[in-house]
Amino acid sequence: MGCIQSIRCKPKTFRDSIAVLEVNASIDSNPTSIDESSGVVLRYRTPHFRAQARVLVPPVAGKETWTVGWIQACNYMEFYNTYGSKGMSSWELPDLRDGKIQAISDSDGVNYPCVTWGVPVCDSNAPQLSGIRRDQSFTTWLVAINQATSETVVLQTIRWRMRLHIQVDPEKPLGQRAALDEPFAQEQPQILGKNEPIPSNAMVKPNANDAQLLMWRPDVGDPVLVIPPKY
């Protein structure tokens, strides 16, 4: 039945008309790669998270500009390197760690993490690294943003996690020290049936790379700030 006198039948808005036709998300099946070519640091690269989508975008009013893309945030981070009985170094996001924020802006970079063989607060680089542990949780949103008004439409929400455990025997020769422990393969991402809102911190500075700091936490003595946050 048609609108009587058009009873103010409003055309569908951009928010109501934009549609997600297909979404795929995965973490590469290859295990974390380990590089012991340096006598100063151990390098490793975790498998990449990947997401892609097909989106049907309706006609846009001439005065409007919309951007469709991905926003990612880190919700949880445990990231430490042990040095036998000496202690551990730990990459930390203080506000996230202390529960002051729910999430912090992040992106899936291709950087190659490095961990020193020696205790990071000592002049000696004698190998003492004995283990690396990492457990991070992320949320990734597919969004459309109105560039003039900052109106944000959440189109899809994806959750994923990255876990890592590397055992290291510092007594072994370079090239034979590190071994990947479980999990060898990562859990695959979850594409949620119901979208989640984006925490305000995920949309503003600082991002995780700029806000993180490196602490040395000895088994005996006071913690030491090794690398301060950039932001």
List the structure tokens of 224: 């030491």
pLDDT score for 63: 86
Shortest CA distance to 13 belongs to which of 149, 156, 142?
149
Residue carrying the six token digits 């305000």: 200
List the structure tokens of 24: 């795929």
Give the residue ranges of the chain where pLDDT is below 70: 1-11, 107-112
pLDDT score for 196: 96
pLDDT score for 105: 93
DSSP state of 63: T
What is the per-residue DSSP string for 152-193? EEEEEEEEEEEEEEEEE-TTSPTTSSEEEES-SSPPPPEE-S
Shortest CA distance to 137 belongs to which of 87, 76, 80, 84?
76
pLDDT score for 164: 96
Q: Which residues have CB under 8 Å from 157's CB, separation 6+?
A: 139, 140, 141, 142, 191, 192, 194, 195, 196
Residue carrying the six token digits 């913690």: 223
pLDDT score for 11: 64
